[in-house]
Amino acid sequence: IPLAREPMVVLCAPGHRFAAAERVAWRELSGESFIDFHPDWGPRRAADGAFGRAGVRRTVGLEVNDVHSLLELVHEGLGIALVPHHFSRKPEARGLVTVDLEGPQQPCYESVVVLPATQYMSPGARELMTLLRSDGASDDTAAP
């Protein structure tokens, strides 16, 4: 069940060549070193998919296991990152530059909830899902 959808943005240090730009073209990202998460993490999958759809190859120079490490490495100028926009609003991101991507392939990051069928949910999970559902979907449509 979808919870939120937001754009992904490029984060860079103030001294980076993209820092003065409002937008950056996909082709300009080629050759940059990226800081990202393990390939199984949601933001990494979203970024990999966005680059694939844009037909741009990228190099992930550093992989991290948490958002704060990613932001710190970007601060240090060790690479840039393509991340969900809310990362740029974290206190640890203060001082970093957020740059939008230009062109028709605007990547988005979706936060979702995947739960078993209703009969397998705890009472608390059932109540939460009742609050979250706005489309009137039947309980049978939940993912197994």
Q: What is the pLDDT of residues 47-70, one digit of tens each?
A: 999 999 999 999 999 999 999 999
Map out the domains of the chain as residue ranges: 2-111, 113-141
Kindly report each contact of residues 131-135 with a partner whose C-beta sits within 8 Å and lies 24 or more positions away, as own/partner. Answer: 132/1, 132/3, 133/1
* Sign of the four-CA dihedral 52, 94, 5, 131: positive
Which CATH number describes the domain made up of 2-111?
A: 3.40.190.290
The pLDDT value recorded for residue 59 is 95
Q: What is the pLDDT of residues 77-97, one digit of tens each?
A: 999 999 999 999 999 999 999
| Closest by Cα among 58, 31, 55 to 104 | 55
Write down the pTM of the prediction. 0.80
Residues in the chain: 144
Exposure b/e, 18-49, CB count within 10 A at least 16 = b? beebeebebebbeebebbbbeeeeebbebbee
Question: pLDDT-based confidence at 135, cuts 50/70/90?
Answer: low
Strand partners, 60: 34
The pLDDT value recorded for residue 32 is 96
